[in-house]
Amino acid sequence: MTANIAVLVSGGGTNLQALIDAQKAGIITSGKITLVISNNANAYALERAKNADIKTAVVLKKELGEGFEERIKELLAENKIDIIVLAGFMSILSESFTKAFPKKIINVHPSLIPSFCGKGFYGLRVHEAALEKGVKVTGATVHFVNEIPDGGEIIMQKAVSIRENDTPETLQKRVMRLAEWKILPLAVEKVCSKIIK
């Protein structure tokens, strides 16, 4: 028995690719990615899903407005999804949505929470803030999603050293490669194995 995983994406899908690769490599065995939902019709992540023969759906907030989250819930129900992974999903989910899936939604954030997280901290902004502050260590955190942005219980963290000549771009790439792509698959496997028990 495996847990059905839905991955919610908005962009390039590098974290989705890390999950697909981890599934192929046997790192994720308790779950299977069965659906990828994007809130951006042009997200390259959709191509990655198609290349891996994973079902995709596009749900646009500007088209659906209030019905945006309802449509996502319908897709999750239709596909019997057990766990939702936010992988660079650029839309904050409402409290009513997150409460409907307690400990079933996980997100990867590109810093060591509680540093550089919460409202407005996403993408390069996180790394810009870390460099501005002069911290020597950053990293990534996988956490459960609740109604507070980046406020849910931490599942896994991995630290990455900051180098003297780092730019937000070089730091972002290193945090992805050394932390996000490593701990997201491990955290997904951990949560899936609990779900199927």
pLDDT value at residue 176: 96
Q: Which residues contact 146 (CB under 8 A, 6 or more apart)?
A: 98, 152
pLDDT value at residue 115: 96
pLDDT above 70: percentage of residues in the chain: 100
DSSP state of 164: T
Q: Which domains does the chain carry? A: 3-196 (3.40.50.170)
Q: What is d(CA 13, CA 62) in angstroms, rounded to the nearest whole number?
A: 21
pLDDT value at residue 173: 96
Q: Is it the case that residue 155 has pLDDT exceeding 90?
A: yes
Which of the four pLDDT bands, split at 50, 70 and 90, describes residue 21? very high
On average, the pLDDT of the chain sits at 96
**More confident call, 88 vs 180:** 180
Report, as an integer, the average pLDDT of 51-72.
95
Q: Which residues contact 86 (CB under 8 A, 6 or more apart)?
A: 8, 93, 105, 106, 107, 108, 145
Report, as an integer, the average pLDDT of 138-152.
94
Q: Strands 105-109 and 3-9: what pairing?
A: unpaired
Report, as an integer, the average pLDDT of 56-70.
94
Report, as an integer, the average pLDDT of 135-150.
95
Report, as an integer, the average pLDDT of 88-95.
90
Report, as an integer, the average pLDDT of 44-48.
97
Q: What is d(CA 106, CA 152) in angstroms, rounded to the nearest whole number?
A: 9
Which of the four pLDDT bands, split at 50, 70 and 90, describes residue 97? very high
Catalytic residues: 109
**Of the candidates 14, 6, 11, 5, the residue with the CA atom closest to the CA atom of residue 177:** 14
Report, as an integer, the average pLDDT of 126-152.
95
Dihedral angle computed from the Cα positions of residues 43, 48, 52 and 55, in that order, rounded to the nearest 10 degrees: 0
Report, as an integer, the average pLDDT of 168-176.
97
Q: Is it the case that residue 64 has pLDDT exceeding 90?
A: yes
Which of the four pLDDT bands, split at 50, 70 and 90, describes residue 92? confident
